[in-house]
Every structure is written in structure tokens, then in C-alpha cells.
């Protein structure tokens, strides 16, 4: 079973699997490397330069790997389960969590900077976060889209949809687009 989306590093393809491995395949389909995580991988690996980031959905850790060799470079303790792809902007990483939170961290030293948890309506985030212009945006099963200050982790605003938001938002020209389960 190969549930996670794919990403690229040069001509190589990176993808996670339910067998708890992040795989790197060459353009002709040969395995370049495989790296082990704890728990199945349900989201695409994020890639920045020669580093790729992946998490097993049950271990609560975002791991950084050398995208050329698969060697683990370090880990960011998230503090809960996730099934989403990390959003990375500059030296910051943002991860939405099943445990009703969004985590902001530093890519260079893999330290958690903040955790945002909505005050009411405790529901998981199945939506990967998007980040643009210093704002992190993520949708929740509580039927709300949240905008969070990327530097501080403080809520800037929220939008109520008529259904759960499992789709990942996209930010284009200062506008946020997201689908919800409300037809």
C-alpha cells in the first residue's frame, strides 16, 4: 500500500509508505535508498534543497533526511500524531496535527518554536498547512480555516465553513482557496 503523495529531489522520486519507510527511487525506478520512521507515512515528504522531511503518522516526530543518501539528519518532536505534509518557508517548518494543533519549528536546529491549539471545538487537522506572507493557514475537522501568525503562533483570524475542512489550502495573490465537505 502506497498512500503518500510523491515529491522530487532532482530526477529522483521520494515517497512514503505504510511499511514505515521513506523511499527514494531513481528515474528508471531503481531504489536509491530507504529510510525508516516510526509508523506508516501518510503524507508527501517535503523537500528543501538537499534535505527532505517526513513523519510517520503515529510517532509525533518530523525527521530530516539527506535527500541524496537517506541519512537521518535530526528530528523535531511534534508532540502528537500527524498525517499531513510539512509546509516550509525559509528556515521555518509548519506541521498540522491530528491532536488539534499546528506546530511551528526551526528547520536548522529542529526545535519547536510554538504550538497553536484552537480554544474550542477540539477536532483534528487533516489539512496540510500552507504558508505565505508570514501567515500559516490550515483547515480543521471543526469546520474552520485558521490563520496563524508564522512568527508567534497566535491566531490572526478564522473562517467558518459549513463542513469539515480536510483539503489543504492554497494561497495565491493574497487569497486563500480551500475546499470543505459542504458540497
Whether 3 shows a pLDDT value over 80: the answer reads: no
**182 or 144, higher pLDDT:** 144
* Percentage with pLDDT > 70 across the chain: 98
Phi, psi of 130 (to 5 degrees): -120, 150
Q: In the structure, what pLDDT confidence band is assigned to residue 1 with cuts at 50, 70 and 90?
A: very low
Closest CA to 148 of 162, 137, 159: 137
Ordered alpha helix ranges (H), the chain: none
CB atoms within 10 A of CB 182: 10
Strands (E), 100-154: 101-106, 111-116, 130-132, 135-139, 144-149
Amino acid at each position: 500500500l502506497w498512500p503518500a503523495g510523491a515529491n522530487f529531489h532532482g530526477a529522483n522520486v521520494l515517497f512514503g509508505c505504510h511499511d514505515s519507510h521513506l523511499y527514494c527511487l531513481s528515474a528508471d525506478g531503481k531504489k536509491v535508498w530507504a529510510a525508516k520512521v516510526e509508523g506508516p507515512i501518510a503524507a508527501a515528504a517535503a523537500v528543501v534543497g538537499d534535505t527532505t522531511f517526513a513523519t510517520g503518522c503515529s510517532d509525533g516526530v518530523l525527521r530530516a533526511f539527506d535527500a541524496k543518501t537517506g541519512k537521518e539528519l535530526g528530528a523535531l518532536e511534534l508532540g502528537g500524531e500527524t498525517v499531513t505534509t510539512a509546509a516550509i518557508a525559509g528556515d521555518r517548518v509548519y506541521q498540522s496535527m491530528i491532536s488539534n494543533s499546528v506546530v511551528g519549528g526551526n528547520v536548522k536546529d529542529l526545535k519547536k518554536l510554538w504550538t497553536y491549539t484552537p480554544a474550542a471545538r477540539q477536532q483534528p487537522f487533516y489539512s496540510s498547512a500552507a504558508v505565505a506572507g508570514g501567515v500559516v493557514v490550515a483547515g480543521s475537522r471543526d469546520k474552520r480555516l485558521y490563520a496563524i501568525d508564522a512568527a508567534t503562533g497566535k491566531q490572526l483570524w478564522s473562517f467558518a465553513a459549513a463542513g469539515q475542512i480536510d483539503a489543504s489550502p492554497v494561497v495565491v495573490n493574497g487569497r486563500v482557496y480551500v475546499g470543505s465537505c459542504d458540497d
